[in-house]
Chains A and B, each alone.
Chain A
Amino acid sequence: AQSVTQPDIHITVSEGASLELRCNYSYGATPYLFWYVQSPGQGLQLLLKYFSGDTLVQGIKGFEAEFKRSQSSFNLRKPSVHWSDAAEYFCAVGGRKNTGFQKLVFGTGTRLLVSP
């Protein structure tokens, strides 16, 4: 069965410092991997996705993530965090579908706090 683990419930980072949010997945075939961000009172916004090819993917807002098959990981990184990055971050995994939709499994999220 598909599953996603985000081991850190909360992370606090100083503004300007680097960030890495961890994501481990379990999936029986080649996974499709996603990172979403949710600001308070808002829906989820797609940051980046991995389907195939280059294992380092670039996303919006200066984020990147690296797919490591051997570690079943898809960690999210940003070299310098801004106060506006404070939000909740969700990792999700899905599979290739031919049926016109995709069933995503989400992690429980990591809340990022940014200190001055």
Chain B
Amino acid sequence: ETGVTQTPRHLVMGMTNKKSLKCEQHLGHNAMYWYKQSAKKPLELMFVYSLEERVENNSVPSRFSPECPNSSHLFLHLHTLQPEDSALYLCASSLHRDNSYEQYFGPGTRLTVT
């Protein structure tokens, strides 16, 4: 595997379910990000982990819970979601080097909450 991978690619869940999204980067990066992409809205940054420490949390509801066990893996744990949480969830990673932080994105998980 190369780049940034995300599983599953598609997920349908009920409002009472608990599920997790997984992201893995194979680029040797040390920062990882979760974004939410909804129709007709700009990408929304949800969480940032730098060197496995959460450094940004953009007022995201507690029903979304991130976890970064190491620099290559990032999870987003979901529970009691609402229909408005249906969206494409994108993971990205970047490398802290010479102030050059371009982010590389995974293909996303298309989440539908029923």
Contacts and interface: CB of A to CB of B under 8 A. Distances in A.
A45 interface: yes
B59 interface: no
A105 interface: yes
Interface in B19-76: 30-31, 33, 40-43, 45, 48, 50-51, 55-56
Nearest to A98: B99
B30 A100 contact: yes
A49 B40 CA distance: 24
Contacts of A51: 99-100
Contacts of A99: 50, 55
Nearest to B58: A103
Interface string A42-65: 111110010100000000000000
B33 A101 contact: yes
Interface string A95-107: 0111111111111
Interface in B75-113: 90, 92, 94, 96, 99-108, 110
A67 interface: no
B99 A97 contact: yes
A41 B30 CA distance: 26
A43 B41 contact: no
Contact of A102 (B41, B101, B107): B101
Contacts of B50: 99-101
Contacts of B102: 34, 46, 49
Contact of A104 (B55, B103, B107, B110): B103
Interface of A: 4, 32, 34, 36, 41-46, 49, 51, 90, 94, 96-109
19 contacts: A32-B101, A34-B102, A43-B105, A46-B103, A49-B102, A51-B100, A94-B101, A97-B99, A100-B30, A101-B48, A101-B55, A101-B101, A102-B103, A103-B45, A103-B48, A104-B45, A105-B42, A108-B40, A109-B42
Interface of B: 4, 6, 30-31, 33, 40-43, 45, 48, 50-51, 55-56, 90, 92, 94, 96, 99-108, 110
